[in-house]
Amino acid sequence: MNNLRIGYGYDIHRLEEGYPLILGGVTIPFEKGLVGHSDADVLLHAITDALLGASALGDIGNHFPDSDDKYENIDSRILLRNVIELIAQEGYKIVNIDATVVAEQPKLAPYISKMREQIAEDLEVGKDQVSVKATTSEGLGFEGEGKGISVLTVALLTNR
């Protein structure tokens, strides 16, 4: 009998000039980038939180506090790989991940395939187990005004 575990992740980062825009480990050319203590990869953060949620291991802030200098400007792929190890230790593996990036600009369609590939590599799963979708918020709210990007994610785990 499969023990299935679902987890939910949500994250937001501010968009400002003078920062790189890194989403799903892919650097995207744009006039603004995401601000954060780490590299501010909002997509990887939401995925990391969904995985922690599915395994009831707390949240990304518990594991990698932004008060800790060792996480300053850290590549979020390192945090994600760290959590993959934790969930493996708990006896779980990933069934699939689904993420929605809410961003008015830039258009993300040309980068989605590369993001999925990169995330799948870090998660040690197939690309077909990783879905990344993009939507605008029709000009409404902070995403619509170009002030930030948010990401919603679900992750499904099962026994190893």
> What residues make contact with Mg ion under the rule CB under 5 A?
11, 45
Using DSSP, state whether 9 is helix, strand or coil.
strand
Which C-beta is closer to Mg ion: that of 82 or that of 91?
82
Which C-beta is closer to Mg ion: that of 67 or that of 127?
67
In whole angstroms, the minimum distance from the beta carbon of 66 to Mg ion comes to 8
Q: Which pair of structure tokens corresponds to residue 115?
A: 């993001």
Task: Select the residue whose beta carbon is closest to Mg ion and give its number.
Answer: 45
In whole angstroms, the minimum distance from the beta carbon of 151 to Mg ion comes to 9
Amino acid at 157: L
In the chain, what's the furthest Cα-to-Cα distance?
51
Using DSSP, state whether 148 is helix, strand or coil.
strand
Which C-beta is closer to Mg ion: that of 46 or that of 54?
46
How far apart (Å, rounded) are the C-alpha atoms in residues 23 and 39? 10
In whole angstroms, the minimum distance from the beta carbon of 91 to Mg ion comes to 27
